């Protein structure tokens, strides 16, 4: 039995002191159409959701990265929901306005973390260069983040849900599982793995019980990748003030979310690269009947927000698709972006940061990553845009100098 | 013998009525360290360069795309330069301020073109979906571009040189040629080819003559890809007001440029996706002695400009690294970006544009392409940001509606 | 005895159900150096303050403006504080970072109001044209505001404290009272009055009691005008993310604040023109010893925030200093701004709004008011910048039209 | 007889080597309905106009301000036009797109000047504080301006026509002359004068000759103030990319313009505060028949441009309406803005600039001037927004400091 929500209600509450499997109202950490709704709302409703951080509280506010090294990755992402939207049917579009989100107010909750995950437990974009676990803790002070582990950095984040999406239909779920299994089978022993396949251990499937729970857990899709329904897109610009359009695959749409980020750079390159936090998210939902075919939607669409920090002076690093061994790859944007990031990390080291600090800054600050040229064979050109205003000191290569003269011209 | 340039001089002139090989001062269309400087300047100098469009005038202002279909790709890119900067030595950094650029003023020159190149002659990012040649002509009216081939579109471009860079050293040139040849050898008969190898035919090598010209033409690198020295990066944000830092590989740096764009979307996806034009570019150059090691530079770095159009309301399309056949690829940003572009093209067709029109809009308008998530195995998530303000009518999915009441509250 | 605040503490609490004079910890509603600190903090401290709306809850969330008409103006502004900053001495500069502010979360508190005050009780910028009381109620939904009284308007506000400042010294207070009394004496019977002089009735002077309270109330400056210490500046851009520098006049600086605005247009033209609300404000304070002479400060200085809504398409209305009777005034920016506002109101009436609705939109939305030309004798030129993106429909005079053609150019 | 202009034609040419009265095609320097059109165009036409600087070349590129001191103010503003728009009738609205503007290219023309005018010959906003003549010369390098007289300042300007407007009808002209005469009569001997009345000496009235010329010169309105038709509004944001709507008062509209500015701060406070230059302006004109009543226009309206420099970090100075003698004025935005400017000038002196340099920076740089609070009796609050990015060194009061720690957290 689900509860109907009036306007402005907290529709999903979390208890930060308890693990995900022991919350009073159970959320989930796998995708499956059969997970029952935790609550229901009517279209044109505004409500609040509470979320734990994506790891279910495994990472602590301290100065050791052992928790990052030892994190149990069968638990994430802990997702709040699903929320059933009354009247939603497959083929509709669910319109979701992200009205606000942030950490829970209070001394014990206004902090976040960025982790470099170990190559043997999670990995990351530059895991060959950074195989070990590291962590930075951020203080969240209103709209600003600073870190005792990253000197002279202070910025306004672009808060967003790293993960938000509708439930897949059984057909779509089967398709996901099949294609990801096919990929893993091309190199099953790879570390880190090519994809995470369904894993019954630690699966939380909402209020499902007994055999239903076991069956759903066995086939529930893991939450790491973004997919057709949205999911873990980690798009930093899907921030408060933006409006997302999601395809609906099951009756009621079953919207879930989690993995709240106070800030993130494009790509979230350290894997746990955002400023990860627990907190709240305020949403408004509405429906466009038959919208999927009307707008020819395959993936979610969203409209950007008028409220993003206005950083405008960027130092930009380029990368092309030639790998570290000097081998030429054909139009490989992945390698090009890697090189752009590595170039930025090299540069930041000339400014006094360690490589790990630089890597975390790129992961967590409002950095833009662009596909700049994708047709100039054989080199893709990707670029990383680092806002210089986030540094509390000058990090630019050279200051422009103009010649000086003591006085303006004066009538004599 | 080269000429020393005073401030504000036109350092390189072009005659639009003559082909590249018959200009009074010869530029070049291949990269080679031995191409003599066309002119020289001292550090801290401001000067103007004139450029032909990248194809040497092969594309005309008319309503047929036959010229695009039949373009001779051994001629591009026609490059103005090289400019020798006095005192520049390998290991220095050449600081280049882009002060202004634009089309030549006048009724016959204030236009540009965007081409979809045929799969059999150039190709493009979505060449399998768009195998035939198409063209759109743009009218350039001050800061705005409009096109008689693309109704209801009007925007302020972000003008930039698609191509700018320093001359490679002989060692670097050899490395380029080797790695690209190795790539082509993996599939030599591919159409379009994996890379363009040195091609003597139609090579223009500045003032080199006879045997010197032939030798240089035989080993001169083609100008299509971006490389360590910059080159054809097609980075739209390297616009007027920005400052670029280039590694110097040869005495005098030998800076060359061309491929001026009135505007371009990130990725320049139709291959000839920008608004291509002939025109001028005003530069200021300076040197940082020993800058390459000081700043650990591998590729150029640049600082963004305070002068870009302030489009702020974007409709955003997502793509993930699952291909059209439903096959899962591992973190493939190329496929993810392709899907994001295809999703945008599908959407724009619901707004009344043809697929070709939509493709060209994405190539030419100030569209942003982002690497949003690059760690959520196995799916990269790329996004395309389409500014809605470039359309002269509403293209958004749904307008927000608020309930109406006739009057404000009034004291009675 | 005051309390020392640790980081992140709520330093001043309010009870929305009780009037200002009956709060557990008493704030104030007049300026006086002798009002004891309600709490104290050390430099480099972060803390939260709670505030009631400026009228002490006199205005209700309903559809009658009788409360606006009948408001008791001896009560405002109810101010939270003063906060003593340890070590602050006259001549220092108090550095105040505004980290966040917003309404109290919850269904009963996430709303605000805009009032047109009656000419006989408060008045406003255009009170001759709008002599009667009116009101609009706003729903605050995360970062957005909408109003059931103002159709098709929806915007992201620029939240800010309308009023924040340090306590005056006795000397400065005396100067204020004298100069304002001198002004009132030039036309003592004017309605609305030229200034509000000290008023003992309803004065709340913190924890002062008996004769101390009476004496301070008799000479306490009213809170309406901005003055050298800051005070009721109503500067919308002093928003979260900005940093203010205040002159210190008394030991401990004694910082107070209130009059929280969810949004406001430049000028706050309807007098109660902002979206007024109760709520919280998070601050960080620090000191620059001897900063007043170091920076030659007469009035507060502040640094703008990187976090403001990015509205960029404005419809702009001009006004010059010729009054409604056609009389020419010399460089009168007040009249010029009035005319610019009136021109905007006239225009909005052609879009279907009533004059009162238009007036309130100008008062409450993120509208910019500029002194554009102030030297071209005899006319000042002021301008009002109305962001078109706040309207959910097209309000521009004319759409640009480009000629249509069905197709792009195609190779045949 | 006037010439009909095809698209992209130069409709009005100037010869910089000749004074205004000896140009081949005569423009004007007074407003009068009878001045014949210099050329005519049809609606929906694009064309270029050339303009001299507003003083007709009296100010030179040198290091003496004697020319500013001795300038003949009966000559300005030299205006290019009028342009007749075919079909325009009184009551129509003339739609003018500003497509581009800039200095004439070339070493001798890419410069501009800012002048502090002497109190005895022109004056300015702060003329009591700055009674003597001063001058700064700017080098215009592409989109940037720098000055040998103002060290460490470099910015992208917001180029605009300081003066643009339609011709007044005879009735409107009479009204102007009467109201300005009435004002002057209140203090006829004031220096500087309260307004400039018609002045036959040096009047250039287009192709009018003999008695017609004399009569028109006797009653032609001076060009200094902005008025209902637009005119010398000096609105910096009416820049390239913006669209202005002008009321039409006479057949053919008769549009004229001049006083081109490479950049200007809000208020243009030194009188000749902008970066003044000669140059070109590209326009597109169109008509809205009957638009004046349709849009209830009294003064011009314009739509802002998407192309302005994106300076976003401002240091903000406040001013209130208490004068230097400590006298309280009622809601006087003029005095408040003056104080805000004076506060900024005081501050900039602590950064190493002279008062004159600071004054000129405020006049010429892209500084914003706001009417922040205009209802808080008795003090208006005006603010000056100084973009810190225009300085090539740090001018902020204090850098935020965060505590340092050598390393990120690491797993051990």
CA angle C95, C364, A262 (to 5 degrees): 55
- A67-83 core/surface letters (b: 16 or more CB in 10 A; e: else): bbbebebebbbbbbbbb
Give A202 to chain D, closest Cα distance, Å. Answer: 25
Measured between CA atoms, the residue of chain C closest to residue D180 is C328
pLDDT at B230 over 70: yes
Per-residue pLDDT tens digits for A42-96:
999 999 999 999 999 999 999 999 999 999 999 999 999 999 999 999 999 999 9
What is the average per-residue pLDDT within D79-97? 97
* pLDDT confidence of residue A106: 86
Tokens found for residue D140 = 């215009």
Residue A133: how many CB atoms within 10 A of its CB?
A: 26
Percent of chain D predicted with pLDDT > 70: 95
Per the prediction, chain A carries an average pLDDT of 94
Query: How many contacts (CB atoms, under 8 Å) link A and C?
Result: 78
> Which of these three, C275, C303, C331, is where a domain ends?
C303
Query: Are residues C88 and C225 located together in one domain of the fold?
Result: yes
| A156 → closest Cβ in C106, C241, C309 | C241
Min mean pLDDT across A279-293, C353-367, D62-76, D398-412 is at D398-412
Alpha-helical runs (H) found in D58-160: 66-69
Q: Is D21 on the interface with A (CB under 8 A)?
A: no
pLDDT at A398 over 80: no
pLDDT at A6 over 80: no
The ipTM of this complex is: 0.94
Query: Are residues A297 and A328 located together in one domain of the fold?
Result: no
Query: Are residues A147 and A97 located together in one domain of the fold?
Result: yes
Q: How far apart are CA D341 and CA D318, in angstroms?
A: 8
Residue A18: which residues within 8 A CB-CB, separation 6 or more? none
Q: What are phi and psi of B373, to 5 degrees?
A: -130, 125
pLDDT at B32 over 80: yes
Q: How far apart are CA C315 and CA C362, in angstroms?
A: 12
Bridge pairing between strands D93-103 and D279-288: antiparallel
Query: Are residues C147 and C257 located together in one domain of the fold?
Result: yes
Percent of chain C predicted with pLDDT > 70: 95
Per the prediction, chain C carries an average pLDDT of 94
Residue A388: how many CB atoms within 10 A of its CB?
A: 16
| D331 → closest Cβ in C314, C334, C377 | C334
Q: For chain A, how many structural domains are there in total?
A: 2
Q: How far apart are CA D334 and CA D332, in angstroms?
A: 5
Query: Are residues B378 and B286 located together in one domain of the fold?
Result: no
Query: Are residues D326 and D193 located together in one domain of the fold?
Result: no
Measured between CA atoms, the residue of chain C closest to residue A155 is C306
Q: Is C228 on the interface with A (CB under 8 A)?
A: no
Q: How far apart are CA C356 and CA B405, in angstroms?
A: 13
* pLDDT confidence of residue A107: 83
Cα C231 to Cα C83, C84, C201: the distances in Å are 14, 16, 21
Per DSSP, the three-state class of D95 is strand
String of DSSP letters for C345-395:
HHHHHTTT--HHHHHHHHHHSS-EEEEEESSSTT--EEEEEEEGGGBSS--
**C398 in any annotated domain:** no
Query: Are residues B157 and B289 located together in one domain of the fold?
Result: yes
Residue D336: which residues within 8 A CB-CB, separation 6 or more? D319, D320, D321, D379, D380, D381, D382
**B chain contacts of residue C391, beta-carbon cutoff 8 Å:** none
String of DSSP letters for A326-348:
--B-SS-HHHHHHHHHHHHHHHH
**C chain contacts of residue D328, beta-carbon cutoff 8 Å:** 179-180, 182-183, 195
Tokens found for residue D146 = 């720098």
Give D14 to chain A, closest Cα distance, Å. Answer: 28
pLDDT at D402 over 70: no
Is residue A377 classed exposed, middle or buried when 0-12, 13-18 and 19+ CB atoms within 10 A define those classes?
Answer: buried
Q: What are phi and psi of D344, to 5 degrees?
A: -65, -40
Q: Indicate the pLDDT class of residue C7, thresholds 50, 70 and 90.
A: low
What is the average per-residue pLDDT within B68-97? 97
Query: Are the beta carbons of B101 and B281 closer than 8 angstroms?
Result: yes
Q: Is A241 on the interface with C (CB under 8 A)?
A: yes
Tokens found for residue C389 = 């993106």
SS3 content of chain A, % helix, strand, coil (to 5): 15, 30, 50
pLDDT at A131 over 50: yes
**A261 in any annotated domain:** yes
Query: Are residues B80 and B198 located together in one domain of the fold?
Result: yes
Q: What are phi and psi of A357, to 5 degrees?
A: -60, -45
* CB contact (8 A) between residue C356 and residue B152: no
Query: Are residues C259 and C353 located together in one domain of the fold?
Result: no
* CB contact (8 A) between residue C284 and residue A141: yes
Query: Are the beta carbons of B58 and B71 closer than 8 angstroms?
Result: yes
* pLDDT confidence of residue A407: 64
Residue D293: how many CB atoms within 10 A of its CB?
A: 10
Q: How far apart are CA C392 and CA C412, in angstroms?
A: 44
| C389 → closest Cβ in A8, A282, A306 | A306
- CATH code for the domain of D336: 3.10.28
Domain that holds residue C64: 9-303
**C chain contacts of residue B313, beta-carbon cutoff 8 Å:** 389
Q: Indicate the pLDDT class of residue B7, thresholds 50, 70 and 90.
A: low
**A215 in any annotated domain:** yes
**D405 in any annotated domain:** no
Q: Indicate the pLDDT class of residue B407, thresholds 50, 70 and 90.
A: low
pLDDT at D174 over 90: yes
Per-residue pLDDT tens digits for B92-106:
999 999 999 999 988
Query: Are the beta carbons of A37 and A84 closer than 8 angstroms?
Result: yes
Query: Are residues D359 and D248 located together in one domain of the fold?
Result: no
Q: Is A364 on the interface with D (CB under 8 A)?
A: no
Residue with tokens 């309308």: C162
* pLDDT confidence of residue A409: 75
Bridge pairing between strands C45-51 and C255-261: unpaired
pLDDT at D344 over 60: yes
* pLDDT confidence of residue B265: 96
Beta bridge partners of A146: A139, A154
Residue B36: how many CB atoms within 10 A of its CB?
A: 17
Per-residue pLDDT tens digits for C220-236:
999 999 999 999 999 99
> Which of these three, C255, C278, C303, is where a domain ends?
C303
pLDDT at A9 over 60: yes
CA angle B333, B339, B343 (to 5 degrees): 145
Residue C169: which residues within 8 A CB-CB, separation 6 or more? C33, C90, C249, C250
Measured between CA atoms, the residue of chain C closest to residue B399 is C392
pLDDT at D335 over 50: yes
Q: Is A121 on the interface with B (CB under 8 A)?
A: no
Give C252 to chain B, closest Cα distance, Å. Answer: 41
Q: Is B108 on the interface with D (CB under 8 A)?
A: no
Q: How far apart are CA B319 and CA A227, in angstroms?
A: 9
Q: How far apart are CA D147 and CA D112, in angstroms?
A: 9
Bridge pairing between strands D79-85 and D111-116: unpaired
pLDDT at C372 over 70: yes
A320 preceded by a cis bond (ω within 30 of 0): no
Cα C38 to Cα C14, C80, C167, C209: the distances in Å are 12, 8, 13, 14
Q: Is D120 on the interface with A (CB under 8 A)?
A: no
Query: Are the beta carbons of A248 and A90 closer than 8 angstroms?
Result: yes
* pLDDT confidence of residue D136: 97
Q: How far apart are CA A355 and CA A347, in angstroms?
A: 10
Per-residue pLDDT tens digits for B196-205:
999 999 999 9
Bridge pairing between strands A368-373 and A381-387: antiparallel
> Which of these three, D303, D328, D357, is where a domain ends?
D303
* pLDDT confidence of residue D273: 87
Measured between CA atoms, the residue of chain B closest to residue A226 is B379
Query: Are residues D148 and D116 located together in one domain of the fold?
Result: yes
For residue C10, give the nearest of C281, C287, C254 by alpha carbon.
Answer: C281
Q: How far apart are CA B127 and CA C410, in angstroms?
A: 15
**B chain contacts of residue A125, beta-carbon cutoff 8 Å:** 374-375
**A408 in any annotated domain:** no
H or E, element range at A137: strand A134-141
Percent of chain B predicted with pLDDT > 90: 90
Min mean pLDDT across A211-220, A389-398, B116-125, D149-158 is at A389-398
Q: What's CA A333's distance to the chain center, in Å?
A: 20
Tokens found for residue C377 = 């004798």
What is the average per-residue pLDDT within A362-372? 96
String of DSSP letters for B322-334:
B-TT--B-SS-HH
Could you tell me the maximum CA-CA distance found in chain B, to the nearest angstrom?
A: 97
Q: Is C107 on the interface with A (CB under 8 A)?
A: yes
**C148 in any annotated domain:** yes
pLDDT at B355 over 60: yes
Query: How many contacts (CB atoms, under 8 Å) link C and D?
Result: 324
Q: How far apart are CA A59 and CA A53, in angstroms?
A: 9
Query: Are residues C105 and C207 located together in one domain of the fold?
Result: yes
Q: Residues 186 to 225 of B: which have CB under 8 A from any A CB?
A: 192-196, 224-225
H or E, element range at A410: strand A409-410
Min mean pLDDT across A3-12, A372-381, C131-140, C307-316 is at A3-12
pLDDT at B6 over 90: no
Query: Are the beta carbons of B280 and B49 closer than 8 angstroms?
Result: yes
pLDDT at D313 over 60: yes
**B344 in any annotated domain:** yes
**D408 in any annotated domain:** no
Beta bridge partners of A391: A153
């Amino acid at each position: 039995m689900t509860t109907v929500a009036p306007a402005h209600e907290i529709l999903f509450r979390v208890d930060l002191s308890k693990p995900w499997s022991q919350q009073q109202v159970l959320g989930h950490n796998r995708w499956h159409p059969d997970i029952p709704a935790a609550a229901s709302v009517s279209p044109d409703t505004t409500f609040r959701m509470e979320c734990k951080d994506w790891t279910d509280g495994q990472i602590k506010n301290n100065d050791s990265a052992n928790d990052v090294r030892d994190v149990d990755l069968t638990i994430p992402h802990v997702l709040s929901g699903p929320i059933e939207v009354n009247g939603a049917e497959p083929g509709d579009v669910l319109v979701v306005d992200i009205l606000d989100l942030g950490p829970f107010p209070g001394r014990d909750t206004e902090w976040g973390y960025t982790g470099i995950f170990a190559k043997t437990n999670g990995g990351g974009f530059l895991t060959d260069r950074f195989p070990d676990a590291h962590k930075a803790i951020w203080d969240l002070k209103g709209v600003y983040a600073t870190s005792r582990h990253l000197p002279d950095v202070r910025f306004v984040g672009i808060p967003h849900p790293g993960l938000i999406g509708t439930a897949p239909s059984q057909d779509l779920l089967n398709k996901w599982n099949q294609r990801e299994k096919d990929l893993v089978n091309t190199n099953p022993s790879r570390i880190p793995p090519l994809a995470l396949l369904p894993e019954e251990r630690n699966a939380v499937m909402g209020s499902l019980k007994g055999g239903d729970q076991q069956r759903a857990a066995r086939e529930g899709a893991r939450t790491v990748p973004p997919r057709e329904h949205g999911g873990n897109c980690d798009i930093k610009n899907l921030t408060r003030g933006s409006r997302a359009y999601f395809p609906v695959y099951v009756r009621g749409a079953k919207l879930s979310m989690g993995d709240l980020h106070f800030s993130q750079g494009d790509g979230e390159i350290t894997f746990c690269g955002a400023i990860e936090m627990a907190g709240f998210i305020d949403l408004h939902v509405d429906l466009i009947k038959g919208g999927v075919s009307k707008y020819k939607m395959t993936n979610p669409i969203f409209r950007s927000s008028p409220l993003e920090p206005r950083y405008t002076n960027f130092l930009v690093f380029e990368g092309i698709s030639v790998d570290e061994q000097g081998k030429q790859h054909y139009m490989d944007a992945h390698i090009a972006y890697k090189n752009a990031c590595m170039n930025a990390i090299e540069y930041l080291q000339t400014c006094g940061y360690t490589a790990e600090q630089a890597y975390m800054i790129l992961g967590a600050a409002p950095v833009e990553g662009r596909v700049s040229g994708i047709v100039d064979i054989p080199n893709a050109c990707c670029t990383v845009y680092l806002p210089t205003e986030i540094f509390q000191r000058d990090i630019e290569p050279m200051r422009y100098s103009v010649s000086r003269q003591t006085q303006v011209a004066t009538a004599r």
